[in-house]
Amino acid sequence: MPKSTLSLAAVSLALFIGLTACGSSTGTPGPSPSGAPPSSGSSGPSAGQSAAPSIAGIDHPTGATDIILRVAQGGGFISPDFLATQAPDFTLYGDGRVIFQQKVEQFPEPGPDGITHNRPWRIAQLDEDQIQELLAFALGPGALGAARESYVADGIADAPDTTFTVNAGGVSKVVVVNALGFDNPTGPDQVARAAFKSLAARLQDFDRGGTIGSDVYVPAQYRGLLSPRDSDPSIKPVKWPWPGVKPTDFSAPPDGGGFAMLRRAMSPDEVAALGLGDVSGGIQGLDLSGPDGKFYGLVLRPLLPDEKD
């Protein structure tokens, strides 16, 4: 994807300008100096299409599927189904689209049918000034510019990892921080961990509790994750709804992970065939009776623009 290139001196100047604009704020500032990003819907440049090059400032890729800033949380002791539905809390793409989940105090509960409908992701559009301000915060006060790649040594085994991805201003790295928010005040890296906590708080509550305009993200595809289940007389499984799809069409993930769950990219029409209503945020807890006479559990989650299956 097109990417403008600035010298180290220019990047430093851009960071200085961005940090000056941020001032000494210690809260969770909003997505832009001028207020809310305009609401956008799920439309935008198609995958592979590039937006206009960055204005003078912090350089970054400009493609519609290029990740320039992301935060995700995962790991810890959670159920395989819940783990399978996890996806990044916040992603800023090169064309200015932001796809995020709203912060909630309580996660959705299963319905009477035992199926949990997860929170939908949402989408907003940033202009270049808003992108610049956010990147300046992430690289400066958010500490990603000077961060090392791992803060997990002597971590807490059952606590999740917070993973930041940044690709801007000459910095391209993934930073993994274990047990963020469970910090020992006398432990190492407290200055950096406090900065990471501030950045995570801003990105994970990007729309300030829903007060900033955005639209529901409508994915082009979903990830379907299939796992064998033992029959249970107390559960009435849903009949397999896809005549042209077999359980063997689901395959193991390339990295071998996923708790033995097989997966397949699924179209909105295939998902609609389940007859579950609004599943824009994905689901867990669905039991299927397969065409092979076996029983399966199915988990669905939306695929983000940079994901293929």
**Do 19 and 89 reside in the same domain of the chain?**
yes
Tokens representing 94?
């090169």
Phi-psi group of 192: left, alpha or beta (phi > 0 → left; psi -120 to 50 → alpha; rest → beta): alpha
Comparison of pLDDT for 25 and 196, the residue scoring more: 196
Q: What is the rounded average pLDDT of the residues 268-283?
A: 94
113-124 residue pLDDT tens: 899 999 899 999
User: Does residue 213 belong to any structural domain of this protein?
Assistant: no
- Residue 195 contacts residue 164 (beta carbons within 8 Å): no
Question: Nearest to residue 205, comparing CAs of 105, 102, 107?
Answer: 102
134-189 residue pLDDT tens: 999 999 999 999 999 999 977 787 888 999 999 999 999 999 999 998 877 777 89
pLDDT over threshold 90, residue 9 = no
**Do 233 and 200 reside in the same domain of the chain?**
no
- Residue 34 contacts residue 42 (beta carbons within 8 Å): no
User: Does residue 29 belong to any structural domain of this protein?
Assistant: yes
Number of domains making up the chain: 2
Distance CA 207, CA 214 (A): 8
User: Does residue 34 belong to any structural domain of this protein?
Assistant: yes
User: Does residue 212 belong to any structural domain of this protein?
Assistant: no
Domain that holds residue 276: 219-302
pTM of the complete model beyond 0.85: no
**Do 94 and 21 reside in the same domain of the chain?**
yes
User: Does residue 173 belong to any structural domain of this protein?
Assistant: yes
pLDDT over threshold 60, residue 244 = yes
60-95 residue pLDDT tens: 999 999 999 999 998 655 556 666 677 899 999 999
Domain end position, chosen among 204, 228, 261: 204
